[in-house]
Amino acid sequence: MKKTRSTALKVFSISTLLGFIGLMLMIHSFSSQASTGRITCTTAFGERSFTIDGDKISFHREDDSGVSRAISSVSPDSVRTHKKHHGFSKTLYLNGNKHRINVQNINEFSEVNDYLSITSPKGHEMTYPLSCHSA
């Protein structure tokens, strides 16, 4: 009877340990995907510039002296985020226009795959390639 109980304890301990390791790996993958940190993006020629910090987005504009200032910030409550495998897309409304920010891969930013799309209330859409980097 002792051998059976000891064997059952060893099997239970190994399966518990493997389950715990699997759970920790899964939690780590979710937390690394969710915590992208601060990302700064600009469009070509600096027409649009913004910083993404979690779910908060701050748009910037340079004044005549070349100093960049945050002209508007969008609270996390009004930003809809769709997480992808390695990236995300964020949708928000600013000054009546729908802004959609798409970052394909936060580990490898790409001007080909990352873009800002702005749609007016009349349906006119402008799409800008983004040049992003982690701040």
pLDDT confidence bin for 34, thresholds 50/70/90? very low
Give the Cα separation of 52 and 87 in Å (integer): 13
Closest CA to 56 of 87, 71, 77, 36: 77
Q: For residue range 85-126, what is the model confidence (pLDDT) as tens digits?
A: 899 999 999 889 999 999 999 999 999 999 999 999 999 999
CA distance 42 to 50: 7
At residue 105, what are phi and psi to the nearest 5 degrees?
-145, 115
Judge if pTM exceeds 0.85. Answer: no
pLDDT at 106: 92
Confidence of residue 16 (pLDDT cuts 50, 70, 90): confident
> H or E segment at 58?
strand 56-62
Task: List, as one string, the DSSP characters of 44-92.
Answer: GGGSSEEEEETTEEEEEEE-TTS-EEEEEEE-GGG-EEEE-SS-EEEEE
The enclosing H or E element of 54 equals none
Mean pLDDT of the chain: 79
Short-list 30, 27, 53, 29, CA closest to 40: 53
- The percentage of residues in the chain with a pLDDT greater than 70, rounded to a whole number, is 71
Residue 3 pLDDT: 55
Stronger pLDDT, 47 or 73, i.e. the higher one = 47
